Chain A
Amino acid sequence: MDPLMPPPVRRIAVDREPTVAPPRPAANGATPGPASATTRSRSTRLAPGLVRERMRVEGLWLAYGENWVVRDVSLSVRQGEVLAMIGASGSGKTTLLRSLNRLTEVTAGAARSGTITIDAQDIHELEVNELRRRVTMVFQQPNPFPMSIFDNVAYALAERPGRGRRRRRTPELERAVGEALHRAGLYDEVGGDLDRSALRLSGGQQQRLCIARALAAEPEVLLLDEPCSALDPISTATIEDLIVDLRESVAIVIVTHNLQQAFRVADHVAFMHLGELVEYGSSEQVFDRPAKQRTRDYISGAFG
């Protein structure tokens, strides 16, 4: 162990070298993969020409009250890639995610320093609701609104500036809702009856409805905060496939506690520990050749 960098939370056994093999769902019983996809593996990368930077975080510090929960983080979010943020509970990854669409401001006593830009524009100079339409978010718990499936998606669409008020079901609105449900892979399952209450859907369907809702706003960046942690393996597989498919048209940031999931969907990985960005690099680099001892310990399951 590096003597200059003692682990602040838990002392890790030094007598044996941790195994650094990339976690495989088939070999690891802790997180069984879905039956239909026993050999799910790392997603293939898109051509470099399809990748471009959308957001950039530089020297970001975030605090709730007196506690700095994110310390000096710099990274970039690219369209055409999935960025996975991994780390133990309390490492600040969710706070970092929420700062990307300024949802941290909803919490009283939140403070920040550093810059976040979207397409080279400071997000704090944008009108907050405009930013949140460009950077939408899906939460850990599926949280559909208590209204019909159609209205849930239309809610993200209607009354956008420049498009006029659209309360009634115009063909244009119906097409947009249908398209969003298609992109979220939900249309074929519920297509027949969009007037059903969204609360009647299964958990996995509700979460995909939330993704459809987030996509309906036609965002540039989609934030996912542990989107599968409340779901079963089959729903998780469906949503993971969806994430990989979506990255071409929207930049995706996913926070996950599930290392296998990060391994399966991510192109870039950011490992955070106690508010610090310990390691940030391509999925191959972080999982196969981690540079830092702490990263090695975490992905081999020594702590976290």
Chain B
Amino acid sequence: MSATGTAAAPPDRILAAGPPGPVISGSRRERTSSWPLADRLGYWLCWVAGVGICLIALGIMVFMFVKGLSYLKLKLFVENPAPEALQAKSGGFLDPIIGTLIVAALGTAIAAPLGVAVATWLTEYRRPSWLARAVESAIEVIAGTPSVVLALFGLLIFSQGFLAFLSQRAANGNVYGRSFFAAGAVMAVLALPLIVASTREALLALPGRLREASYALGRTRATTIRRVLLPSVRPGIATGTVLGMGRIIGDTAIIKILLGVALLNEGVGHIPILSVLRGTGATLTTFVFENSPAGEGNAPQKAYAAAFVLMVMVLLLNALVTWLTTRSGGQRERRTRTWLAARMSGTRG
């Protein structure tokens, strides 16, 4: 106590006083006036483009929030759609919400294990190498195929006689080919490239010494993958899966072609869960389409409300992706996400 008291100035006073000279917060910024005209023009174009994107995003958000929220009522979530001309009597979108959830769950349930398996084989085995290159090209082709083309192809496949058990047979004996099974399977193809790319990037980012450490303990390649590598890339797998789910939820063409035209989920047969999956139905995207002024229902209020719900779902999934990637904190994974997001929006059908 006495020792500090006799000091000329207590240490905290010195710190509080700051440096003796003027505080410099930053040097003078670079001025563009010294740049050549072409550089200045380019700079301002970039600036305008950036602000423009922000305005468009803001416009969509404001528009959807105002329109959507003003028509959104709690009872829309619990009522089935009804074929009525009057908007007040045409019901809600309970069936489409359930349909969206079923398709998303089915699609990711098929795509996630497949995608992880393909990515693992591509990064860890790659034998023979010509097959690995072929698989890579195949994934590129699938990623670049418009979803409406995938849907047509899916309809062709699921209309085959031996796949009748996945949908239903019409009175004339033809296979209908439209069902939750069919839509979910084709949606899985849509989500597959995203899961493969994300898992693969994560596996490639793992240091080679992790693999060597495991081999040097006498563990097989399979054990290494199962117990060391795949647990390490869990955030990458989750990111790809959620991105894939977002893409499934947002797709319209596959639903239009492969899930039937009604807005109600109609089961086939009597086995509880199977009947729903074999049956036809609707999702939020088709609900929005049918109720928009372009569709048959023409109930724009319902369309706005449903579009709002759809947008919130996709935004929530995007937030989940951000959370998953930043939690693991890798700069590389964040780059992957932007790359994946670019692809996702590029080919959305």
Contact = CB atoms under 8 A, between A and B. Distances in A.
Contact of B212 (A106, A146, A213): A106
Interface string B213-249: 1111111100100011001100000000000000000
A174 interface: no
B228 A145 contact: yes
B232 A103 contact: no
Contacts of A213: 213, 217
B209 interface: yes
A55 B227 CA distance: 31
Contacts of A223: 216
B218 to A, nearest CB: 3
Given A106-B212, A139-B212, A141-B209, A147 B217 contact: no
A145 B214 contact: yes
Given A146-B231, A147-B231, A155-B227, A131 B218 contact: yes
Contact of B220 (A106, A129, A137, A210): A129
Contacts of B45: none
Given A145-B228, A147-B231, A129 B218 contact: yes
Find the residue from B213, B214, B216, B223 having the highest chain A CB count within 10 A: B216
Chain B contact residues: helix, strand, loop or mixed: helix
A213 B218 CA distance: 11
Contacts, number: 60
A262 interface: no
B220 A136 contact: no
A103 B218 CA distance: 10
Given A143-B207, A146-B231, A146-B232, A155 B212 contact: no
A48 B212 CA distance: 35
Interface of A: 101, 103, 106, 129-134, 136-139, 141, 143, 145-147, 155-156, 159, 210, 213-214, 217, 223
Task: Kindly list the 4 A-B residue pairs having the minimum CB-CB distance in the complex, ordered from nearest.
Answer: A133-B218, A132-B218, A137-B216, A143-B213
29 contacts: A101-B216, A103-B216, A106-B211, A132-B217, A133-B217, A136-B217, A137-B216, A138-B216, A139-B213, A141-B209, A143-B207, A143-B209, A143-B212, A143-B213, A145-B213, A145-B232, A146-B228, A146-B231, A146-B232, A147-B231, A155-B214, A156-B217, A156-B219, A210-B213, A213-B213, A214-B216, A214-B217, A217-B217, A223-B216
Interface of B: 207, 209-220, 223, 227-228, 231-232
